[in-house]
Every structure is written in C-alpha cells, then in structure tokens.
Chain A
Amino acid sequence: MTRKKTLRTLAASAAAMIAAGTLAACGGAASSATPGQLTVATLVDVQSFDPAVNPGQGQRVFLDPVYDTLLRTDPKGNVVPGVATAFELTPQSLDLTLEQGRVFSDGEPLDAEAVKANIVSRKASAGPASGAFENVADVTVVSPTEVSLELSAPSPALPIALTDVAGVLVAPNALDAPDLGANPVGSGPYVLDATASKKGVKYVYTPNDKFTDKSQQTLDRIEIRVLTDDAARASALRSGQVDLAQIARSQVEAAKSSGIEIGTFPGNYWMLQFTDLDGTEAPALKNKKFRQAVCTAINADQVVQTTFFGHGTAQSQVFPQGNRFHVDALDDIYAYNQDQARRLLAESGVTDASFSVPAFGPIKPIDEAIQGNLRDVGIDMQITLVQPGTLDKENRQTNFPAIITPIKQVHPEQLFVDRLAADGPQNPFKVNHPEIDAAHEAALQATDEDGRVAAYADMQTAVADDALWCGLFQDQSVVGWNSKAVHGVQNTVGWPMGPSFRGVTVG
C-alpha cells in the first residue's frame, strides 16, 4: 500500500509538471499583425550601421529606414533621384542638385556641406564604399543645394554607386562618432530606437519626426528580427510572429500552404570566373577552346532547378534582358551542348583537362552540379572546401585558378575595375587584356550614353569570345508576407534580403 503511494506520488509529480507546462503554455503564442507595426525577420545581422564599413546591397534593409541616399533605383533597376533631385555626369564631374529644406533626425541641415562631409569621410575610409570615390579628386559646394564632384578620370558607375552605401547620408556630427556602428543618425523616415533594439537580436525603428514625406513614412513601428535559421524564420512567419521574412527556397511550399504571399526578387548573378588565364596553376585554363568547352558543358538551367528549386534564371551574361547593358548577341553564345563541348575539348588539345575551385556550405551543391556537367564531357573540376565567409578572400588570391561565385558588380565599369583590369582586386593573377582595355577606354571616352553602352557591349563581347568567365544564372530571393495585413511590398532590385519598407503599410 505504502509502496503504491510512493509510486503514485512520483507519477503525480511528473504529471503535475507536464500539466503546469501545458497550462502555462495555453496563454497564447501566435501574434497577429498589429496595424501600423511591421515585424520582419532577416537571415543575417546588420554588419554595422556605419555606412563606411557596411557592405551594402542586402544590408540596406537595415540601413534604409534610417538613412537616405543621394540617388535610388526604381523597381527596374534604373537610377532615379533620391536626396539629389537631379544629377549630371560628365567625364570631368558629377553635379548634384539637392532637395531643399531637408534635415537630419538630430536637427542638422541636410545641405551641400553635409553631402561633402559624407563623401570626404567615406572616401577616406578603407571600407567597401571608398572604392566608388577613387576618381573623385575634389568636392565643391556650389550652393546650399548644389554640390559638384570633380573627377580625375571618367566614372560611369558613380551614379549607381551612390544608390548604395557610397551615397548614404549620415548627419555630419555623427560621422566621427565612435558608436555610429550601433547608433545611426540619418535623414530617413525612421530612427533607430537603441533602447528597444538589441544587437544581433532585433532592431526597432520609430518614425523620424523631422521627415516630412508621409507617403514613405507609413508605419508607426518597424521591428527587424535576426533569425538565421531557415526553418525558424519560416515558422515565425507561418505562426504570425513576424509579418514579412526572407524565405529559404526549400521552405516556399510550406509557407504557401499556410497562406503566405510569396514574392521573388532578383538576387545575385553567378559566374564561373577563370582567374589563372595564363595557366600558371592550371595550364588548361590558358587555352581559350578549353574555357569555351567548360562554358558549353554547363547546364545552368539544370543547376537552377536542382539547387535553387527553380528560383533563378539561367543567364549567359551579367546583365538581364531589359537592362541597357544587355547584349542580345551573347544570349546563346555558350548554350548548353555536350557534343559541342566535347568537340571544343578535343580541338583544344589539352591533355590535363582539370582545374580546381573553392567552395563552402551553400556554394558546394552548386559547384557539385557543375562538376557533374563537366565530368560528363571529360573535364575534371576539383572542389576544395574552404572556411565559410572566405570566398571573397579566395577571389582576391591565387590559391585557386578559378572560382564559382555570386558577384556584386551592377555596372560594366565595376566589372572592368574589379575583375578585368590588370590591377583589379578580383583579377588576382594580374592578367592583361589589351582588347578589353581598348573597349573600356572607348567607353570612358564616349561622348554620349549610346556610345558608352555600345563600347561596353564590345567589352562584354570580348570577354565572352575569350570565355574569361562562364555566365551562369541570376538567383532569386524569396520573400514571404502576410498579404492580409501587409500591403505595398515592391520589388527592390539588388536587395537580396528583402524590399524597402518605405510606403509599406500594415492594417
């Protein structure tokens, strides 16, 4: 009897604990959207709120609520006015006309002096944005609303660079603040609530009372939560904890089944770049026909289907159809054709048909798919695992003769400066390309935009003819949101982590 009692006591204790947990659990969990309040989940944390050390692009999701940029892009990727309502680019200068009457959230005027201070500060830093100002010799304040950038060399990519971190405007008094990385001061529609925010966890934004354009300031509160796990992010969206989130491609069907609206946004362009073009490490890569064989053997469409769940578009050149730098003649230059690849390989006369590429985690399946394509035609592409986060570094070094990588360049000039110029950081073997140099020079010297576009087309054609890289595909970012509550979500080109929240409403 007493032994039974003991057993009952033990069993009751366990049951009580489970019951207590369950009862406490019944307090409700899933929250529904609150009018005027947008809760977002992102894949990665903000690197820094200091635009001088922030890499931009996807990271702009964090910066855009707080900061304005001199220029912006429209949903098609065209450069449109930002704080600068007009701009004129010549080979010698870039003249900007600024919006009148703007102020930063700390009350400082957003005028030509503030713009000059930002450009001088950004150029002096060694961060990702400093390269954009390499050719800026001087900045002159013409009037409170006019500023002129004197150029030491033609800089056709400068306007597009000013839509990203290079063009972000920080209040001058905050430019040298040691805590700018955590406490941004800008002129955007919102301010960061540092008290409610927690680094690496969540960032809370509230309306900037100095911002006057109410069509962009449509929310009472924005909370960006950092949820690095794909499943956790999707679960948070499906359960109503967040209203909008970047969704992993593998989670799309599950999200759709929960009634989540799915939007796809153009993401990164991927290429297989041959860096060892002189054949120092991989002799086969010196041979043009071998490189052409590699490009012809890759079934980019299959890679997109198998590794991106179809969320991407096979694309043989960096710039998609509709973009002014797209070259129609290059659309099918290396269309997938195994027989043709074998022919080119035979014609190349290469005896050691092999080269290696670096890869880690998410890149590896893509490399393996391409490795399979190449193996089918007799080319051996070895994959060497490197530490996560070091692909950029490998692209600047000579450890590998080739690399499969997403790229950040969004203008032919950036492609040249970074990847084609003999001193380009992503031309690690320092290979010269006289024909490409000539086409690039012609683009710089062009007297009108049409002439420049034609010269860049020649440059891209020379790159493709020589198969300096194999254009692969453009991936798509997938963003899901609760469409019953969240409205006004628009495609924002080049923001792989999600759209701008300007003009978005919740209600």
Chain B
Amino acid sequence: MLKLVGYRILALVPVLLVISIVSVGLTALLPSNAAERIAGEAATPEQIAQIQSSLGLDQPWYEQYWNWLTGAVRGDFGQSLIDGSNVLTLVVDRLSVTLSLAVVAAIIGIVLGVTAGTLAALRSGSLIDRAITVLASVALAMPAFWIGLILVSVFALKLGWLPATGYVPLTQNPAAWFRSVILPGFALGLIVTAMLARHARASMIEVLQMPHIRTARAMGLPARAVIGKHALKSSLSPVVTTMGFQFAYLLGGAVVIEKVFGIPGMGDLALNAVINSDIPIIQAVIVTTGICVALAQLAVDVAYGYLNPKVRVS
C-alpha cells in the first residue's frame, strides 16, 4: 500500500507541471492584464506600459513562467499584482476555508447518503424505499445555490438559529465554526447525499443477494453483523469511487455556495483574481486545486484498497 501511495505522489509531479503550463496558457487568454486594471479607465498607453514594466508583464511569457515555476518549487508563489499580498498566504488561508466546507459537505453526504441508501435497500420496494428514491431524485434536480437561499431564508432570517453569512475558523471557536458551516455544508452536500444514496442502495441490494451474505445468514449470524460487518463493507466500494469524483464537484460547487453564504474561500479568491487578471493568484489557485483533487483520488485509491483486498494484492 505504501508503494502505491509513493508512486501516486511521484506521478503528481508531471501532472502538476502540465497543470501549471495549461494555467499559463489560460491566463494568456485573459482579455486584459493587471496593468490595465491598475491604470484605470482613462489611462494612456504610456501609463499602462509603465505599470506593465514595473510588474514585469512586459517580459516574454516563458520568462514569466520560468520565474514563477522556480519560485513555486521553493514554495514562493509570488505577490499579488494588484496589492502585493503574499500569494501563498492568501491561498493557504482560503484553501482551509474551502476544504473545511467541502469536508463537511462530504461528511453530510456520506452519512446521510449511505444511511438513506442502506435503509432503502433493506426495505427494497417499501414505502421508505420509494420515498428515499423520490427524494434523491428531487435533490439531484435542485441547484445547490437555490437550496442555500432557502436554507438562509428559513434558518437564518425566519428562525434566527444560524448565521446567514460568514465563516468562523475551527481553531477560533469550534461551536461557532459548526454553526457557520452547517447550512452551506448541507446545501453543498445535498446533491452528494442524493447521489450516494442511489449508489449505496443499488450496491447494497446487489450485495445482499451474494452467496457469502446468504451463507452468513444461514449460519445464524445476527442481522447487525451480516449487514454492518459484511454487506456494508462490500457495498461501499462503488460508493467510495463515486465519492472520489464527487470531491472534485464539491470543490467546484463550493465556489457558488461560498458566494451565497458570503464565505471567503478559494472561489471568491479565484473570481476576484480573474476579474483583476492577477495571474500569480490564478496560477496558485489552479495548482493547489489540482493538488487537492489528486490527493482526493489518492485517498479513494487507499480506501478502495482497504475495502477490496483484491485491489490491494494486485
């Protein structure tokens, strides 16, 4: 298993290199640059050229990329072109917020989704099963931002139970952190819940019909042990695979949810950076997001190996 992890981490290097080159290509497509943004609406070409020169934007793209790359491998992602802020500090700060939100959404999705899917499978064909199936379909059809707006309207504005906007770091106040992430986490995690519920249901129904489950029941094992120890573990493999893909969705979906709930995460940072053509921030956001997605896939592989011994052996 350690070998697998080691290989996957090594494989990240060329992936990140490609991502960084693609990000440079994408930023080259931006219709304006930071110098034009700083110079203001009535700027003359001379003013813009002067600012471009001071920011190093007049250098060839490959020189700019090389400067960035040599800094990035040392952990120096440069400074914001707009106000000189340290990019690494900014990205780390915002990434912790987005990851926090994505993890909460993932936990909500896994706990509720697997629970609902398992319940539906155990009562296959019953009213509960149909209700869960219909609710999952409805949840999949609802956009996350709309769910977010409804949650704010009910739980923040009508009932006053939870904050409408904002984020409190976990290290600052765990209870306040929980209050600040529960609504956005639920809004973001609902679609994951629905998705996992469907997969968990189908997988569990299939597993329950397998010979080893029938054997376990025939041997008189209690239902809790049959389902909790044998069936659930076997049925989780496709759920884990789905969750791996869903994590990338959660990072992307967090952009919208962060806006609805006024949460200062990566999405907000990326959006402002694109509007300002703040290239060092854009590149850092793309690369760190790539790292996160790759690590999530690695975690899926590890979990898959745990759940399925055949994979571990191969």
Contacts and interface: CB of A to CB of B under 8 A. Distances in A.
A280 interface: no
B38 A232 contact: no
B210 interface: no
Interface stretch (A2-10, A78-86, A88-96, A138-146): A2-10
Contacts of B162: 25, 29
B83 A47 contact: yes
A199 B88 CA distance: 13
Contacts of B40: 55, 127-128, 392
A329 interface: no
Contacts of A386: 31
7 contacts: A5-B223, A13-B115, A29-B160, A128-B38, A182-B83, A200-B272, A239-B160
B205 to A, nearest CB: 15
Interface string A392-431: 1101100000000000100000000110000011100000
Given A181-B84, A389-B32, A239 B93 contact: no
Interface string B182-211: 100000000000000000000000000000
A425 B32 contact: no
Interface stretch (A68-76, A213-221, A223-231, A292-300): A223-231
Contacts of A335: none
A241 B164 contact: yes
Contacts of B39: 126-128
B149 A231 contact: yes
Contact of A395 (B41, B157, B264): B41
Given A228-B268, A232-B261, A6 B41 contact: no
Nearest to B52: A126
Interface residues of B, number: 67
B43 interface: yes
A14 B44 CA distance: 63
A227 B262 contact: yes
B85 A199 contact: yes
Given A50-B83, A393-B31, A14 B165 contact: no
A387 B27 CA distance: 13
Contact of B224 (A5, A14, A395): A5
Interface string A38-62: 0001000101111001010000000
A152 interface: no
Given A199-B83, A241-B165, A425-B43, A6 B160 contact: no
A3 B227 CA distance: 9
A173 interface: no
Given A14-B115, A232-B262, A47 B227 contact: no
Nearest to A388: B275
Contact of B42 (A7, A28, A128): A128
Contacts of A11: 115, 119
Interface residues of A, number: 70
Interface in A246-302: 258
Interface in A194-220: 198-201
A92 B164 CA distance: 56
Contacts of A426: 41-42
B261 A48 contact: no
Nearest to A226: B264
Given A2-B224, A29-B160, A198-B93, A229 B84 contact: no
Contact of B44 (A28, A53, A390, A425): A425
A225 B163 CA distance: 15
Nearest to B158: A239
Among B38, B39, B40, B90, the most chain A Cβ lie within 10 Å of the Cβ of B40
B246 interface: no
B29 to A, nearest CB: 10
B41 A408 contact: yes
A22 B161 CA distance: 9
Contacts of A49: 83
A239 B179 contact: no
Contact of B50 (A6, A126, A231, A408): A126
Nearest to A55: B40
B165 A236 contact: yes
A123 to B, nearest CB: 12
A2 B83 contact: no
B259 A393 contact: no
